[in-house]
């Protein structure tokens, strides 16, 4: 149904639409989760509270450089940033649909007609030949050849606007904006995952390098033990079984070292890809510090509400809830009338041989339309039901995300304390075993202990040293997981800051 109204009714309805166009959608997120005041396992934390660049609190300069390089050069991150910018542009496009559209049109043409005068064969009663009569009267139509020149110029101006009286278009624009914000949070989350992946590969590479060094020490000890066993076998003081037992242990350790080197090289190539560099020829330099000996303490002062408002995955889910709420508002707005206003104004000039014709025209029209849904076969009703169900699903996903995040933080805190205690106990055990090995070597030199017992004591100390490295690696990796659970490791871009 479309109406064209004039005079005072046009003014009244136009004023109503202008006021209605200011309508905004009220978007709220009503979570069903009761957020606790504090975490159960965070009381013992003593580390720095700053979470944006957690790697700055680590003493390893090589790790800090790798993460900074990765955040600048990683191609997956660049792809996500491009998707984020595309989503922002889409939101701006939806926002622009709220205002009027204005455009202008200019066109022109030049015409020329040259031909024999058809009037030369036309006889007019009482006047004779028509062409000769016109020629005697001084008319250009009396020429033997007709040569007409003309031009046409037209200028047009048009505008249209659909006032958002009941907020449907505003709801669509807000839905696009919140979806854009959700994509932005996904980009923030990608920063967290990237920094964590770089740290994880770096830690595993350093652990493998240390295990290689420990393995090489064990190989040296086993070779010494093998020579001793072979000597005793030749002297009839040991069996072939004793020699083969040491020989098999030596071969197994050498095989492990080869595997460790392959794994360390793989982690190094992973770091090249994560930092946007070619894997071939890439090399991670040695660090001036042992990263495992200077692990920072777990972040202190972290509260559940802070984590919920910081974690990009939860922020993304929250914006999806808001987008679904706005889409529900748009679906409900379909029940009401829609209005549109259009305006057209044109002017032009037609000129044919200045002596013959010179025409000017101009005119305009204002049109007001109203569209009212009368029968839609349940389309509007079902669309509202679908939007409402999607909103409920988004809220459920958001609530589930909050619960998982709260559990992840306490799990990571508790595991960190347990792994730290494990590391301290392994360090203590390794130091005791090292002292025992040193004492055994002294006893051997003074003839109070056989060489094989002294060497096996050294192997035991080296084995505990490898377990200490593995324990420190697990502690460091869990610390990275704690940063991720707390939502640390991302920064806003310049557009967000502005």
Q: pLDDT tens digit string along 342-362?
A: 878 778 776 666 455 566 777
3-state secondary structure of 67: helix
State the average pLDDT over residues 282-308.
95
**Separation CA 170–CA 336 (nearest Å):** 14
**Separation CA 68–CA 276 (nearest Å):** 11
Query: With bands split at pLDDT 50, 70 and 90, how would you rate the model's confidence at 117?
Result: low
Residue 259: the pLDDT is 94
Instruction: Give the contacts of 216 (CB within 8 A, at least 6 positions apart).
Output: 257
Residue boundaries of the structural domains of the chain: 31-98+164-337+377-497
DSSP string, 438-486: HHHHHHHHTTSS-HHHHHHHHHHHHHHHHHHHHHHHHHHHHHHHHHHHH
Give the number of other CB atoms < 10 A from CB of residue 377. Answer: 7
**Separation CA 466–CA 444 (nearest Å):** 25
Q: Are 105 and 347 in contact (CB under 8 A)?
A: no
Q: pLDDT tens digit string along 128-174?
A: 666 566 666 656 655 666 565 667 787 877 888 888 888 888 998 99
Q: pLDDT tens digit string along 183-231?
A: 999 999 999 999 999 999 999 999 999 999 999 999 999 999 999 999 9
State the average pLDDT over residues 369-375.
85
Q: pLDDT tens digit string along 458-468?
A: 999 999 999 99
Task: Examine the pLDDT at 43 and tell me if it is beyond 80.
Answer: yes
Element (H or E) spanning 143, and its range?
none
Can you read off the two tokens belonging to residue 2? Answer: 């479309």
3-state secondary structure of 162: coil
What single-letter DSSP state applies at residue 299? B
More confident residue, 112 or 402: 402
Closest CA to 158 of 83, 243, 98, 101: 101
Rg (C-alpha) for the chain, rounded Å, is 42
Residue 82: the pLDDT is 94
| CATH of region 31-98+164-337+377-497, choose from 1.20.140.10, 1.20.1600.10, 3.40.50.720, 2.60.40.180 | 1.20.1600.10
Task: Examine the pLDDT at 79 and tell me if it is beyond 80.
Answer: yes
State the average pLDDT over residues 368-395.
90
Q: Are 441 and 451 in contact (CB under 8 A)?
A: no
Instruction: Give the contacts of 478 (CB within 8 A, at least 6 positions apart).
Output: 412, 415, 416, 419
Average pLDDT, the chain: 86
């Amino acid at each position: 149904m479309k109406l064209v109204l004039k005079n005072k009714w046009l003014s009244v309805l136009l004023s109503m639409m202008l006021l209605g166009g200011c309508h905004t959608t009220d978007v709220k997120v009503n979570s069903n989760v009761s957020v606790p005041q504090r975490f159960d396992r965070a009381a013992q934390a003593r580390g720095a509270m700053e979470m944006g660049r957690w790697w700055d609190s680590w003493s390893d300069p090589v790790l800090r450089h790798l993460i900074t390089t990765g955040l600048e050069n990683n191609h997956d991150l660049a792809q996500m940033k491009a998707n984020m910018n595309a989503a922002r542009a889409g939101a701006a496009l939806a926002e622009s649909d709220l205002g009027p559209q204005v455009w202008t049109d200019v066109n022109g043409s030049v015409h020329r007609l040259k031909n024999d005068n058809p009037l030369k064969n036309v006889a007019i009663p009482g006047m004779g030949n028509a062409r000769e009569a016109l020629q005697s009267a001084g008319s250009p139509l009396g020429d033997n050849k007709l040569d007409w020149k003309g031009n046409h110029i037209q200028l047009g101006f048009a505008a249209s606007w659909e006032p958002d009286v009941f907020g449907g278009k505003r709801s669509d624009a807000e839905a696009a904006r919140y979806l854009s914000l959700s994509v932005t949070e996904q980009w923030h989350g990608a920063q967290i995952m990237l920094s964590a992946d770089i740290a994880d590969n770096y830690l595993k590479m350093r652990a493998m390098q240390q295990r290689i060094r420990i393995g090489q020490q064990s190989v040296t000890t086993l070779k010494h033990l093998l020579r001793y066993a072979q000597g005793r076998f030749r002297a009839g003081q040991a069996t072939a079984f004793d020699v083969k037992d040491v020989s098999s242990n030596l071969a197994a350790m050498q095989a492990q070292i080869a595997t460790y080197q392959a794994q360390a090289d793989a982690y190094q190539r992973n770091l090249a890809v994560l930092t946007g560099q070619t894997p071939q020829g890439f090399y991670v330099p040695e660090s001036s510090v042992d990263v495992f000996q200077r692990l920072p303490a777990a972040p202190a002062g972290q509260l559940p509400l802070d984590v919920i408002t910081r974690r990009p995955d939860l922020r993304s889910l929250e914006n999806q809830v808001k987008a679904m709420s706005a889409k529900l508002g748009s679906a409900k707005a379909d029940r009401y009338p829609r209005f549109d206003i259009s305006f057209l104004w044109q002017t032009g000039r037609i000129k044919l041989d200045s002596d013959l014709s010179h025409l000017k025209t101009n005119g305009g029209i204002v049109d007001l339309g109203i569209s009212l849904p009368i029968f839609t076969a349940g389309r509007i009703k079902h669309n509202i039901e679908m939007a409402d169900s999607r909103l409920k699903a988004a809220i459920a996903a958001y609530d589930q995300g909050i619960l998982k995040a709260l559990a992840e933080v306490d799990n990571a805190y508790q595991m960190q304390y347990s792994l730290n205690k494990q590391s301290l106990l392994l360090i203590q055990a390794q130091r005791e075993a090292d002292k025992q090995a040193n004492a055994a070597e002294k006893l051997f030199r003074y003839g109070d202990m056989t060489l094989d017992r002294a060497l096996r004591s050294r192997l035991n100390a080296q084995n505990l040293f490898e377990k200490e490295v593995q324990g420190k690696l697990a502690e460091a990796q869990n610390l990275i997981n704690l940063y991720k659970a707390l939502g640390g490791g991302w920064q806003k871009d310049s557009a967000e800051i502005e």
